Amino acid sequence: MLTCNSCPYPVRCANRGHCISGKVREAGDSLPQPKPMQVMTTAGMGMTSEAPKTAPKIKTRKKKDAS
């Protein structure tokens, strides 16, 4: 377990096996994507697939204060 130089909780981080404050990042385990399979739906047989990607949210302007 690697701890950072200025770790506020060195003993707690070492016991848990990761940095509590989030200063030291470890490589995460990545799981493979599941394969599409047939499922029974109310409309009949269907196929599972990857989740559709969502569009980025539109940032709106803040209104000026009318004072």
Domain ranges of the chain: 1-25
- pLDDT of 61 > 60? The answer is yes
- Give the pLDDT of residue 3: 61
Strand partners, 66: none
pLDDT recorded at residue 39: 87
Which residues on adjacent β-strands are paired with residue 38?
47
For 62, the token pair is 């803040």
The 10 Å CB-count burial string (b at 16+, else e) for 27-42 is eeeeeeeeeeeeeeee
- Say whether pTM exceeds 0.75: no
d(CA 64, CA 44): 53
Give the C-alpha separation, 8 to 16, whole Å: 14
